[in-house]
Amino acid sequence: MEFHAPGRPEDLPPFDVLWARAAALAALEAGGSRNQHAYADAVVHHDDAGGNEWRLARIEGGRGVLVGADHQCDEHIDIEGYDPYAGPDWLPWTWFTELENQREQGFAYWWDGAAWARIDYPDLIDNDGLNLLLPHLSTAENATTTVLNFLDLWSSSDKRREGSPLVHRVLELAERGTGSEEEWRAALDRVLVFAARQNSQYIRCKADEFDVAPALAVARATGLVKGSEAEVKPAGKGRPEGWVPRLG
């Protein structure tokens, strides 16, 4: 999938696909296989610890929001009147206020249940950072590569060839959305056992601290496990009067 600069709505996979990949990585991170994706309160948060991050939120009514900022592409934030939130009434305004009080966001894309959209950018914006922040989730293969890279596995190594189908199985279950709890437990456990055996600079857990239980809990909370219901944020009821970005 090709990403443009600045990003375009059609660059992104459908929300449910993007959510499945992001949530799957967050589940693995919760179990000990670090990959810079964390889940909490209906949001998957990616933070590379270098000033670049995004958040993907599930909103009630089958909708969603993607917001983020890349420090290499954030000059447009200072354009007078720049407002990436000029969208539909159902956007989560309370959450946006919390985000803006933490950090100015460089972009906002919203999924209405059928398609992604964003504001029309002024000509001054040559890149919003989407092409730097999201390519690793553009395909299941890229998402798998992300997990394996954090295990410091060379692309042609036997260990990478061993681990790739294990991680890909988790991504497959996530995108399919019909995996039972037993299937999920087995798939997550295989990846975590494999990860625990690797000698990676990114591994923060001891071998016996890798745990499938918190990974499975995230898979349930994000709606990946068959029969589970994904947590959602409430939809907004109209932009508050006078609301502008960067309230902090």
State the pLDDT confidence band at 80, using cuts at 50, 70 and 90.
confident
State the pLDDT confidence band at 154, using cuts at 50, 70 and 90.
confident
- Count of H helices and E strands in the chain? 7, 6
State the pLDDT confidence band at 18, using cuts at 50, 70 and 90.
very high
Mean pLDDT of 63-84: 86
Q: What is the pLDDT of residue 123?
A: 87
The pTM of this model reads 0.96
- Does residue 248 register a pLDDT over 60? no
Name the DSSP letter for residue 114: S
List CB contacts of 161: < 8 A, sequence separation 6 or more: none
21-38 residue pLDDT tens = 999 999 999 999 999 999
List CB contacts of 165: < 8 A, sequence separation 6 or more: none
